Each structure stands twice: as structure tokens, then as C-alpha cells.
Structure 1
Amino acid sequence: MAVPESTRAAYPHARTTAYNDPLKGVYYGPGCVSDALPKLLDRLGAKKALIVTGKSLSQKTDVIKKVEEILRKRDAYGATFIDIGQHTPVAGIDAGLKQFKEVGADVIVAVGGGSPIDAAKAILYFHQQETGGETLKQIAIPTTLSAAEYSNGAGYTNKEGVKTAVSSIDIAPAGVILDAELTVSTPERLWLSTGIRALDHAVESLTRPLVPIPVKYMFYQAIADLFTYLPLSKAEPSNITYRQKLQIASWMSIWPIQFPKYSAIGLSHALGHKLGAAYGIPHGITSCLTLAPVVALKAALPPPASTDEDKEWLANSLFYLRLESTGSKAGDVKKLSELIAKLVVDLDLKSTLEEYKVPKEDLPTVAELAVGVKGHPLHDVIVKLLQQL
């Protein structure tokens, strides 16, 4: 029997999917760090760890002390490096690499949000470049919902203040520990806004090239859980059950896939990277600013800028949110954008570019950097979008 042309169009060529090769395990559950960290050290054959984190987590909470104690019991504690700032300035990476070598560490335990986890990836990347040997490993213990622990790219800010990145399958964390008890001291705005960042991952990945179809259905569950548990977590900040469900939703929002070639997440992420690095806007807040307007733009744009298939993937989110269709794909995508905008408001995360002192005259450059080329057909449309933020 002949295969219909419509089916061939939907599946243009055979695909295979691999998961991040270094990943040896994801442990989750309240209090699991005590058992999970020693198990991962054994699995990796690691002898001495450098903890990489930020100043606030180290100086204002007992989270780092708990991790240090676990490592000391194993005689695996090397040192704690805390000079990692927002958006991962390269100076912190250089200093972290220096301390990594000085203490003779063979593994990094990164604790915190996306900045220390990305810093750890970059440190390991540059260490391998210097030594020419194997890439050493990272164990990630996230305390936010940004999901940096599942990617093999490390974004950081160079000396010129421009966001740049290194990428290698070998620098993806070899182990991830999702212990909700360690997130209770995370500031509310950071916790909730990185939840919107996870929502950004899930929503934009529905139309991301090369994402396997079964994984997209996992994104729908992530979207549903984030819409459900972010407001509940705001109402009950100490509820560990809600926090654990959000950590798992964050995991589902991006899933550790090894792409055969580069696959950009989407316009909301691209704009967020440029705005964040240049103007000091936290990544969670950039998603609060850009995700809903970008989804609305997807609803309005005609093919090929926004295909019917893309609209269908986004529109189907309403089913998983237990909401009725508006009767059209474009209408459903518009409704999704409105729901995202309302969630941001309900979480008290609404802000503007003006609050972060982003000059209006800079917006054409931001748009150009986000799309990566001059003369992009959507440049003016994106500038108009930015002007409304």
C-alpha cells in the first residue's frame, strides 16, 4: 500500500534520538541528596570535588554546608568556589578553573541555579582544552527551575558583556539531584520566575526542530504541571510536595536530548539571552517578559514564519490544560499566550524593559542579535514586539 503524501510530509526522513551520553542518573525526592551524592561519586569514580555555587546560597543558607558535610564524610571535599555571578561572567569561570586545578579536583558539584551549573560546564570545557585529556564530570544539584542541568551548552558573559557559549556533549552533567528540601531557601521571585523559564522551555520546544515526537508529549505534561503547581507553591512556599513536582516538571520541560546538530529553542529564548546579558535581567524574568508575546506572535504570523504544524502543536496545549478549544488553531495559540501572560501576573512577576533601563534605541540591535542576521524578514516585527514590553 502506498504511503500518503501527507504522512511523508510529516515524517520527512528517518530520525534517531540519543540521550546525553554522560548522564548516569537523575535522583529525585525530598532529602535524597544524602544518598544520591555518594552514589554518584561512586558511579563516576570521583575522589575529590570542587563545589561551585553563588555567594547568596553559600552565605545566607545552610544548603552548601549540607553538601560540604556529605563530601567530608566521604573524604571527597576539596573546596567551595562561590564567585559565580548572574549570567556567569567569564572572570568567575577563569577563577573557578584556577581553584579546580589548585585543589586537584576531579569532579565539580554545582549547587544553585543556571549560573553555577553553566559555570561548571565552562570550567570543565576549558580544563579539557588546556589539558587535552578527558573531560571531567559535573554533578548538578539545582535549587531553581531553570533546567540548565539537562543541556550540553554553557552560556556565559564574556569580557565585553556579550552572552556567548561553549557546547560539547561531554560537559553535560553526569548526575542530577532534585532534592526539594534544598530549594526552600530559594528567594520566591527567583523560584517562580525560573518556573516561567521552564514553561518557556516546554512551550518553545513544542515547535523546536529535531525534537522527537514522544518527547513533545512530555512537554505537555510539564506545561500542565507548571500551570498547576507554580500558583500553589506561591501560596504555600514551604510545601515540599509542590516544590518536588515543580522540579520534575522542570526536568520534563527540556529533557536531556543529544541533538545530531544545533537546534535553536525559539525566539523567546533568543531574545532573553540578548536582553539578559546586556542589561542584567535575570533569565527567569526575561521569559516572563518575552514568552507570552512571542506565542501571540506565533498565532498571528502566516506560513512559513509560523506553520500550521507549529500552530497545532501549540494549540493542543489547551487540551492538557483542561480547556476547550476556541475553534481555530490560531485562536487556541492566542489563548495560550493570554494564559501565560495571566500566570505571570498572578505570580507577581510582571515587569517591563523600562524597569531594567533598556534604552528604546537599543531594541533594533537586540532584535538583530536575536535572529542572528541582518535584514531578517521579521526584524521590524520583532522590534515592534520589544517596544511593547
Structure 2
Amino acid sequence: MTTQSSNLPLSGLWQPHSHLQHLYYGPSSVEKHLLSTLPSPSSSKVFIITGTSIATKTPLLHNLEHLLGTHHAGTYAGIKQHGPIACVDEATQLVARDPSIDTILSLGGGAAIDSAKTVSFRTHSRTGKWLTHLSIPTTLSAAECTAAGGYTGADGVKTGLGAARMGVTAIFYDPGYAKYTPRRLWLATGMRAVDHAVESYYHPYSSEMPWKVLSYWALTTLFELLPQTPAAGRPEQLGDEEAITRLLLAAYASSGFRGRNFKGGMGLSHSLGHALGSPYGIPHGETSCITLGHVVKYKAKNNPDDARQIARLLPATGGTPSGDDFDDALEVGDRILRLVDTLGLRQELGSRGVGKDQIPIIVERAMGGIKSGPEYDAVVRLVDSFF
């Protein structure tokens, strides 16, 4: 059975995930459809996992608990960035106290969603029962798209978990919930979606249909709409409902069609992002701002096949192809860097408190423990350019 994808000749395989049963989008989609997606509309008990900011600075949690009514079995509102193990432990213990809970509902960004997946995984390990996972994403991180989660240990290193039944059963892309997201967080997670869309193009297990096709559409939408996000005003004035909904769907298109035959990590930008993220307290969207443009240019310079695939993305970024794959791929990298500048997200590792003495540690983490060799040396030079 063919498992890898190739463009010489065009061939590949896409095996859809089976965990997602519903994807609702648009204004009031939570209010209209949430209760009907419960495993038992009459008796299901739902435990909510979210973060402190959503719980204390927006009406979202209160509204959601009110909507659930007697279905609401409890809430954990202490999830922090990168899903610290202590938070996941506390949420898991609360769920364990009530055996009637059959559903977990994540409200928020990647930390809340991944933590909810981990709680479901642990509940299954303890009881043999998987929790139905419903998700209301409020960022563009696309964590709701995969059947994998994880947590950050006390040492700052992320531990990943994966199982088909960890996947989200129903996603609600409701602009009424996402509009409260602070602008910088919204834009940074939008760059994470850009990262997903771009790295799908040079991944050997990325299928032409539907993932690359939809990633192209996603990238076009992200380049068009992210710069239009209002620059001023209260956080709840993020933008109009249609633009928010289109961006949420673009985030899904960038990652939701990965396929269950997909193997390995996303790509070098993601690997470096994980090596930089939780160990140094940098949000993953902001790691993409640091890494992606430079990684794209690195890939183009070191592999003609990668350059050929990256060049295909130039029109999606607003560019006009020259016919030279190498030059066009470099232009994609430059346009990503300019987008980061336009969004006001340009930063260097030094400004995040990371010293150059950390470069070998970062590269070793990103490369799975490799400590020497030509590729290691090349990635060391790449990471040095982040400063």
C-alpha cells in the first residue's frame, strides 16, 4: 500500500480520521447545536476545561454553563499556557470524582484543547471509558484537528500522547466565542495556521487531495484576512463575524485534513517550535513567527524538491511566479517574514530571554537527540539566524 506522497509522479494516499462527527460554524452555532451533539441529549454530563482569562475576563464560561443547565457537571478553569502537568492533574482528579461524566468540553486555545484530550486519555486508562470531546476553539492554533495531545512537565519539556479516540467529536467555530480573543494571541495563532499550511507542502506524507489543496486555500485566506484584523479597540472587537469564521475555517483547512496515515512530526519549523515553546515559555504561535520564514528559505536552499513544492505556494501569499522554483520559494519565505512584520509580531530569540548558549540544546531537541553531523551544523546556523 502506498503510504508516502510524491509529485514525481503524482501519487499518494489519504485516510480520513473517523473521530470527527460534526463541524459546526457560524454565528450562534454553539447555542443552536451544542446540546444535540451530546452522547445522550437527556442524561449526558459535561465537564468544561478552560483557562483563567476566559473564565474571569469574558462572559463565555457563564454563558456556556447556563446553556448546558443540568448537563453541566463541573468546570476546571485553571489551564495555563502549554498545559502544565499540575493543571492536567487537577482537572483529571476532578473528572475522576464523578463517574456520571461522559463528555468533556474544551473552551479556548491549544492548551485547553490538548489538556482536555489528555484528561480523556487518562480517564480511559483508569476506567476503560473514553470521554466524548466537544470543542469550542477561540484561537487559530488548530489543536482541535488532531487526535493527539499532551502536557508540559515540570522540566518544561512537552510530552505528547496520541490515540484515535482522543480526537474531538464535534467542533464549534462560533465567532461569538472567538471575538473575545486578544488580538496578539489571535494573530500569533494565525501564524501557527500559516505554519501548518506551509509545512504540509514539503512533508512526505502530505496528500495532494485534500490536504495540500485545502492548505493552499487556507494560506490564501490567512494572508488576506489576518492583516485586516482591527488594530485598536477592545479585545472583544476582534473583527466582523464573517471574517472570524473564515479564519477559523482556514485554521481547520490548514491541519484538519492531515489524515490518519500521516507519520512523523509536521516539519522543521514545528520541531524547532516545540524545542523553543514550553522550555522557554514562548507561545507556539509566536515560535512560528520566529522560525517559519527562515525555515522555508533553508529548505529551499537545501533541497530542490522542497523548493519546487514551496514555490507552488507563491500565489497564495500574493506573489507572482517567475518560473524559477528556487527564487519563488525564497520569495515565499520573504513574504512570510513580511507578514510577521505587518502583524507586528517580529521578534528575536534574544528578546525572549534565550541566550546563544542554548543553541545546541534547542537543535538537539528539535532533531530528536542528534548532536553532530552536517545537518546538525546546518540547523545550528539556522537557529543562530533567529537571534
Normalising by structure 1, report the TM-score. 0.91
Shifted more, 292-301 versus 33-42: the winner is: 33-42
Query: Does 2:199 correspond to 1:204?
Result: yes
CA shift digits 1:129-173 (9 cap, x unpaired): 122x23222101000000000011113211322111001111011
Aligned 1:260-275 pairs, distance under 5 A = 260=261, 262-275=263-276
Moved more, 283-292 or 251-260: 251-260
Distance 1:60-1:376 versus aligned 2 partners, 3 A rule: farther
Any idea what the Cα deviations from partners look like across 1:333-379, whole Å, max 9, x if unmatched?
11001111011011111111112111211111111110113235321
Counterpart in the other structure of 1:59: 56
CA distance in 2, matches of 1:355, 1:62: 34
Instruction: Give structure 2 stretches of 5+ with no counterpart.
Output: 1-5, 232-236
What is the aligned partner in structure 1 of residue 143 from structure 2? 148
Q: Are the aligned partners of 1:209 and 1:264 in contact in 2 as well (CA < 8 Å)?
A: no
Q: Is the 8 A contact 2:205 2:263 kept in 1?
A: no
**Sequence identity of aligned pairs in percent?**
34
Give 2:376's aligned residue.
379
Give secondary structure in 1 for the equivalent of 2:106. Answer: strand
Is 1:177 the counterpart of 2:176 in the alignment?
no
Instruction: Letter of the 2:67 partner, please give it.
Output: I
| Stretch moving more, 92-101 or 231-240 | 231-240
Q: Amino acid of the residue matched to residue 320 of structure 1?
A: A
Cα shift at 1:387: 1.6
Q: Is the 8 A contact 1:197 1:284 kept in 2?
A: yes
- Cα RMSD, aligned residues only: 1.8
Is the Cα contact below 8 Å between 2:117 and 2:167 reproduced in 1?
yes
SS at match of 2:38: helix
**Equivalent position of 1:10 in the other structure:** 9
Q: How many residues align?
A: 373
1: CA distance, partners of 2:247 / 2:10: 33
- Asked whether 1:363 is paired with 2:362, we answer no
Return 215-224 or 250-259, whichever deviates more.
250-259
| Partner residue in 2 for 1:102 | 97
User: What do the CA deviations read for 1:66-87 (whole angstroms, capped 9, x no partner)?
Assistant: 1111111xx2101110121100
One-letter code aligned to 2:354: V
Shift of 1:296: 0.9
Residues 126, 87 of structure 1: alpha-carbon distance in 2 compared, 3 angstrom cutoff: same
Q: One-letter code of the match for 1:384?
A: R
Aligned to 1:82: 77
TM-score (norm 2): 0.92
Q: Would the aligned equivalents of 1:26 and 1:175 in 2 still touch at CA under 8 Å? A: yes
Q: Is the 8 A contact 1:124 1:136 kept in 2?
A: yes
- Correspondence list, 1:222-371, <5 A: 222-235=218-231, 237-260=238-261, 262-301=263-302, 306-308=303-305, 310-371=306-367
Deviation at 1:263, TM superposition (A): 2.7
Structure 1: gaps of 5 or more residues: 1-6
Q: Is the 8 Å Cα contact of residues 47 and 74 (structure 2) preserved in structure 1?
A: yes
Deviates more, 1:35-44 or 1:330-339: 35-44
1:142 touches 1:149 (CA, 8 Å); kept in 2? Answer: yes
- Deviation of 1:16 after TM superposition, in Å, equals 4.2
Change (3 A) 1:376 1:244: farther
Check if 1:128 corresponds to 2:157.
no
Work out the CA distance in 1 between the residues paired with 2:105 and 2:7. Answer: 46
Distance 1:139 1:106 in 2: 11
Report if the CA contact (8 A) 2:188-2:286 is conserved: yes
Structure 1 residue ranges, 4+ long, deviating more than 6 angstroms after superposition: 43-46
- Residue type at the aligned position of 2:281: G
